[in-house]
Amino acid sequence: MQWHKTLTPLGRQYSGSSLAGRLVGLTNLRRATPAAYRKVRDIVCTYERAGGIGSDLQLTANEKQANDVIMALKLAEYQRGIMDPTQFAPGYHIFQMLYKIKQSPLFKVISSMPKGGALKTHDTSMCSSEFLIKLTHKPHLWVCTREDGRQYEIVQFRYAREQPSSNHQDCSWLRMEELRESRGDRNVHEYLRARFSMYPLSRPQSNADAWSNMMSIFRLVDGLVKYEPNWGEYYYNALKEFHADEVQYVEVRSLLPRLYSLDGQKLQVSDTVKVYNEQLQRFKQQHPDFIDSKLIYAPLRHIDAAKLATHVKLCTELNAAYPELLIGFDLVGQEDLGYPLSAFAMELLKLPQHINFYFHAGQTNWYGSPVDENLVDAVLLGTRRIAHGYALCKHPLIMQLVKQLGIAIEVCPVGNQVLQLGTDYRNHPAASFIANNIPFVISSGNPSFWRTTPLSHDFYLTFLGIAPMNADLTFLKRLAKNSIKYSALKDEDKAKANEKWKLKWDKWIDDVIAQRDELFVAEAKRKAEVQK
């Protein structure tokens, strides 16, 4: 029985569903001869592989050589993991694995890979803890501390000439210098390092618990970064850190807070955007290989419709003033709390159509709840991308729409784990996005708070832990290209952006080939260490 013959020609013109229909219609599967079974198996497996993310790309001869290196490193880690799952980083919490990942030659290769853009970042969770600590060494800094038995706790920071007066917290102000003197420089440094990340809370009891811990860091950092001279410095440094991680384009979701000056004055929101603009121009001048950066105005979602209306109005005004820079709107904060998007639809639809939505949606495990339906609303309101979309697989119709409308999902693997949506990376729903060829990009969310690199850790864990075993350089290349394709750049700027990226990419391919032996030695050494 040559049932497989009727299946040709096989290719993209067949949707999975019509292929399935044909396979089913033809025969009783139990009557297959071994030869027919083998043939159909080949067809199905080929079809499966041909449908995934990156399958549309061809590799050059050079890229194929680099791919051989990358796949050898990947398969070494993968196979070691199958033999002994405790050796497989994507099976565990990032907090346990950060050091191990640093030693991985595959991670080294991915770190140096030109990744295109980072499309989901948040204004005050982009820089490393070390940078935040540096800010605490600036003059005129006051800290409000609370004593709890032998422990002290820093509740708030504030730059000021004189001791700040207004404070609703139960704490007392002193100068940062005094704190350092009384507690010891090194102790304060260690304390800050701990407070600026979620590491102390490595076993939170629930996602609400993890969120509340994260929000407390945002609040603590506020007093440091909202200081007018620091805001620009923070952003400039963030671009620098992302650039060092081989990111050439950055979109920032910002609350656009009003900044304060040393004499206690509050500046206007437009000043905040102005600072962004100045620093961006300076950064672009000094880094000609950098593409660009854009802002998405993203106030907190825990508000009422009236308040939202003022945000929509403000966004419209700021976009008019900075049409190239401030290009989108979103709502941020824990999605499980507050109103669902549908409650804001009336107000949201008033935003001028040329300002795009880039909604957070589906960052929840509560299937079928009003929060879960944000995915429906995000799409029906015309969102251009969806941040997280973790719950998308529970919504097949929306998944179809997302694919057909070309709405990219901003997948944040590490963030989803830290905020307790999932644990093992191998269960991340993005595996289904890959299998169904749903457009997505890799993002990091708030890397500052989990001590990861701007994008490399998320890329590494996606490549090794979420993607199928055979996902290769075409997969990585597609993700990098997606980050430009689905960016807020104008079409003509995308072409230029691709050129800038391609220059670095080709160079990187050569580097990987050149480092082949060195990488293999490192991997062999690692393997030997594990076996000891």
Enumerate residues 286-315 that contact its own copies by CB under 8 A. none
The verdict on 431 binding its own copies (CB under 8 A) reads yes
Q: Which residue has the tokens 């993209």?
A: 12
Residue 82 lies near its own copies (rule: CB under 8 A)? yes
The residues in 314-343 that bind its own copies, with binding defined as CB under 8 A, are: 336, 342
CB 205, min distance to its own copies, A: 5
Q: Please identify which residue in 55, 146, 167, 209 interacts with its own copies, judged by CB under 8 A.
A: 209
CB of 74 to its own copies, least distance (A): 11
Of residues 393 and 473, the one with the C-beta less far from its own copies: 393
Rounded CA separation 387/407 (Å): 10
Question: Of 350, 348, 370, nearest to 359 (Cα)?
Answer: 348
Among 394, 494, 516, 527, binds its own copies (CB under 8 A): 394
First to last CA, the chain: 53
Specify burial of residue 353 (Cβ count, 10 A radius: 0-12, 13-18, 19+).
exposed
Quick one: 223 or 429, whose CB is closer to its own copies? 429
Residue with tokens 């941020």: 332
Write down the residue that tokens 């219609």 correspond to.
25
Task: For the CB of residue 280, give the shortest distance to its own copies in the complex, in Å.
Answer: 27
- Tell me if 268 contacts its own copies by CB under 8 A: no
The one among 7, 10, 26, 51 contacting its own copies by CB under 8 A: 51
Q: What's the CA gap between 275 and 317, in Å, rounded?
A: 17
Binding mask 98-137 for its own copies (x = CB under 8 A): ----------------------------------------
In 339-473, where do the E strands start and end? 356-361, 385-388, 408-411, 440-442
The window from 115-123, 161-169, 187-195, 415-423 that contacts its own copies (CB under 8 A) reads 415-423
Q: Quick one: which segment of 64-72, 85-93, 446-454, 516-524 binds its own copies (CB under 8 A)?
A: 85-93
**CB closer to its own copies out of 92 and 283:** 92
Query: Which CB atom, from 128 or from 383, has the smaller least distance to its own copies?
Result: 383
What are the phi and psi torsion angles at 117 (to 5°)? -110, 155
Least separation in angstroms between residue 393's CB and its own copies is 5
> From the CB of 315, what's the least distance to its own copies, in Å?
14
Residue 449 CB, shortest distance to its own copies, in Å, is 20
Of 202 and 281, nearer to its own copies (C-beta) is: 202
Sole window of 103-111, 162-170, 427-435, 514-522 interacting with its own copies (rule: CB under 8 A): 427-435
Q: Tell me which H or E stretch contains 531.
A: helix 516-531
- Rule CB under 8 A: say whether 424 interacts with its own copies: yes
> What number of other Cβ atoms are within 10 A of residue 155's Cβ?
19
Please list every residue from 189 through 208 that binds its own copies, using CB under 8 A: 205-208
Q: Do 439 and 411 contact (CB within 8 A), yes or no?
A: no
Q: CA-based Rg of the chain, rounded to a whole angstrom?
A: 25
Token readout for 470 is 């055979």
For 276, 278, 287, 468, the CA distances from 271, given in Å and listed in that order, are 9, 10, 24, 47
| Residue 376 sits in the site that holds its own copies (CB under 8 A) | yes
**What whole-number distance in Å separates Cα of residue 398 and Cα of residue 429?**
15
In whole angstroms, the minimum distance from the beta carbon of 330 to its own copies comes to 15
User: What amino acid occupies position 516?
Assistant: R
Query: In this structure, what token pair is assigned to residue 281?
Result: 């121009």
Nearer to its own copies, 376 or 509 (CB): 376
Cβ atoms of 370 and 340 within 8 Å: the answer is yes
Nearest to 237 by CA among 281, 274, 283: 283
| Span near its own copies by CB under 8 A; candidates 109-117, 300-308, 425-433, 516-524 | 425-433
Residue 377 near its own copies by CB under 8 A: yes
- Which of 106, 393 has the CB closer to its own copies? 393
Between CA 214 and CA 445 the distance in angstroms is 12
User: Is the torsion defined by CA of 505, 509, 510, 514 positive or negative?
Assistant: positive
Short-list 53, 125, 113, 197, CA closest to 457: 113
How many angstroms separate the CA atoms of 420 and 205, rounded? 9
Does 40 help bind its own copies (rule: CB under 8 A)?
A: yes
Residue 168 binds its own copies (CB under 8 A): no
Cβ atoms of 118 and 455 closer than 8 Å? yes
173 bridge partner residues: 144
Q: Which stretch binds its own copies (CB under 8 A): 131-139, 227-235, 305-313, 378-386?
A: 378-386
Which residues ranging from 2 to 31 are in contact with its own copies (CB under 8 A)? 15-17, 19-21, 23-24, 28-31
Q: Which of 1, 12, 41, 153 binds its own copies (CB under 8 A)?
A: 41
**Cβ count near 304 (within 10 Å):** 12
- Give yes or no for residue 496 binding its own copies (CB under 8 A): no
**Identified binder of its own copies from the candidate list 147, 427, 524, 525, rule CB under 8 A:** 427
Enumerate residues 435-474 that contact its own copies by CB under 8 A: 435-436, 466-471
Stretch binding its own copies (CB under 8 A), from 75-83, 252-260, 312-320, 446-454? 75-83
Q: Any idea what DSSP says for residue 465? A: I
Question: Are residues 480 and 112 in contact, defined by beta-carbon separation less than 8 angstroms?
Answer: no
User: Which is closer to its own copies, CB of 211 or CB of 260?
Assistant: 211
Identified binder of its own copies from the candidate list 368, 510, 514, 518, rule CB under 8 A: 368
Beta carbon of residue 160, minimum distance to its own copies (angstroms, whole number): 39
Q: Which is nearer to its own copies, 38 or 313 (CB)?
A: 38
246 φ/ψ sector (left φ>0, alpha ψ -120 to 50, else beta): left
Preceding amide of 164 cis, omega within 30: no
